[in-house]
Amino acid sequence: MKNLIPLIAIDIDNTIIDTSIRKYSIIKKINPNIEISIDDIRDDFYLKDNSLKDIKDEIFKILNSNIGIEQNLATSFVNCTNVINNWIKEGIKVVLITARDLSQRKATQKELKLNGINLNNELTIHFYPNKEYDKNDILSYKKSLLESYKKSNNILCFIGDTDTDISAGINASVHTIQFESSNIQIEKENPLGVYKCRNWYEVNRVVEVIKNKTIELSRMRDVFSLQYASWLTDMDEKAKNNVVIGLGLSTIAGALISKESNLNIEKFFLIFSIFLSILSVIFSLLSITPRRTSGKNVGSRITNSVKGTLRSIRYLFYLLFGFKSCKYMGDDDPVKYFESIKNMSISEQRVLHYDFILDKLFSTDPEAMKNVRLFSLRSAHYSKIYPNKISSSLTIFSILFLLGWTIIQSIK
């Protein structure tokens, strides 16, 4: 099993390719007399200018055709090519997700190649399967592709320019970079988790931040897992101390109460002290009880029923008298487990560890397994800490009642 391959998904038009240049070329071919600049087109993404209303439909018809791309090739944004090619060299998988349909495949590949983008096995292009442009359908199409890639890759981010791109990234729960190549009004104002970049120098810096953040989060997860594992041991030690203190308090209070012949307020103080110290011992023992740290019942006590308790008592006697065949509880006997492995075929032995991991951690993906392990240890930790906390509180109140008895005695 190996770590997930890092992946960056990118939209093409107005993110990699400056489509405003193609629009400008088409407009000038249709009507050379129209006074308009490339910057004007960038500011008017949907071409709503009155001077273009009579030829708007014709512009978009040519723009979204194979011939329109081939005869009006546009350039990529400054530094875009260098950044993408460097990502590929670093081992990052680059995926282009475009609203261009399949009929534009050859023209798109030609345009990307002319702009210096390496078209090899490390770069995949996904074309919109339908010819009719539908905003909601494109949103669903891009979102589903991102979610599909999340299952087998570590998606660093999705880079796009339109509100459809931003929504697709947010809905797929991936880091999203809005490339501000035009003044498109995004429906979600400053959506959480979206980085805004005006050029590819900024895009590259943001991706570096995301990469480092991912590495740091992974490191922190490993640290947290070790801490929770250590805290489980600490909880047991604290619980053992509470047991000793609780038993000591109950013994002292019991000895004192035997000297009190009359039923008075002092005696009630001692009775409460004994009662609370015994409760403290009980909660401490609940905290010490072994917890499951993996599997479906993570955090629960290994013996949590009358039948299980009786079985624990039986095993206690087996251990005391040295019955080797009964050293382990239930199906946890490693000797029998090893014997069953030896009797398996080679093919069964090969998949045994795979099935064991899948059963206990619900996944064979290393990243998912580490996440499950962290939450499993955390669950087991909290299942111990709450009875431990209650035990500590009961011990304090038991001591206070004993001190109360002492104060009353001194006043007398």
Mean pLDDT by 10 residues, the chain (412 residues): 79 94 93 90 83 88 87 92 92 92 89 86 83 82 93 90 90 90 62 80 91 76 81 83 90 86 81 92 80 60 52 59 54 59 74 69 67 79 83 92 88 75
CA atoms within 13 A on the CB side of 408: 13
Where among 164, 179, 214 does a domain terminate? 214
Residues 71 and 202 in one domain: yes
- Are 66 and 181 found together in one domain? yes
Residues 205 and 255 in one domain: no
Which CATH number belongs to the domain containing residue 69 in this structure? 3.40.50.1000
Query: Domain boundary residue among 189, 214, 239?
Result: 214
Neighbours of 219 (CB within 10 A): 10
pLDDT at 1: 37
Assess whether 227 and 295 both reside in one domain: yes
Give CA–CA dist 116/123, Å, rounded.
Answer: 13
Query: What's the confidence (pLDDT) of residue 283?
Result: 87
Q: Which two tokens stand for residue 17?
A: 């390719």
Specify the amino acid at residue 371. N
Q: How many domains is the chain built from?
A: 2
Return the sign of the alpha-carbon dihedral for residues 377, 378, 382, 385.
positive
Measured from the Cβ of residue 131, the count of other Cβ atoms closer than 10 Å reads 10
Quick one: pLDDT at residue 297? Answer: 62
Is the Cβ–Cβ distance between 399 and 391 less than 8 Å?
A: no
- The answer on 343 and 301 residing in a single domain is yes
Backbone conformation region of residue 47, classed left if phi is above 0, alpha if psi is from -120 to 50, else beta: left
Q: Are residues 185 and 242 in the same domain?
A: no
Q: Token digits for 272?
A: 């409460």
Helices (DSSP H) in 151-185: which residue ranges? 163-171
In the listed set 165, 196, 214, which residue is the last one of a domain according to the structure?
A: 214
The whole-number pLDDT of residue 380 equals 78
The answer on 183 and 107 residing in a single domain is yes
* Verdict on whether the full-model pTM lies above 0.75: no
Q: Are residues 205 and 230 in the same domain?
A: no
Q: Which among 339, 359, 199, 388 has a CA at the least distance from the CA of 292?
A: 359
Q: What stretches of 258-345 show up as alpha helix (H) in DSSP?
A: 265-288, 306-320, 334-342
Cβ atoms within 10 Å, residue 11: 23
Residues 206 and 234 in one domain: no
For residues 23 and 114, what is the distance between their CA atoms, to the nearest angstrom? 18
> Are residues 390 and 258 part of one domain?
yes
The pLDDT assigned to 302 comes to 56
Count CB neighbours of 273 within 10 A.
26
- Residue type at 57 in one-letter notation: D
- The residue with tokens 């206070």 is 400
Q: Are residues 34 and 162 in the same domain?
A: yes
* Beta bridge pairs of residue 125: 96
Question: Which structural domain, as residue segments, surrounds residue 319?
Answer: 221-411
Residue 277: predicted pLDDT: 92
Whether 137 and 176 share a structural domain:
yes
- Return the pLDDT at 94: 94
Long-range CB pairs of 242-246 (<8 Å, 24+ gap) are: 242/280, 242/281, 242/283, 242/284, 242/388, 242/391, 242/392, 242/395, 243/281, 243/284, 243/285, 243/288, 245/277, 245/280, 245/395, 246/277, 246/278, 246/280, 246/281, 246/284, 246/391, 246/394, 246/395, 246/398
Q: Supply φ then ψ for residue 129, to 5 degrees.
A: -70, -15
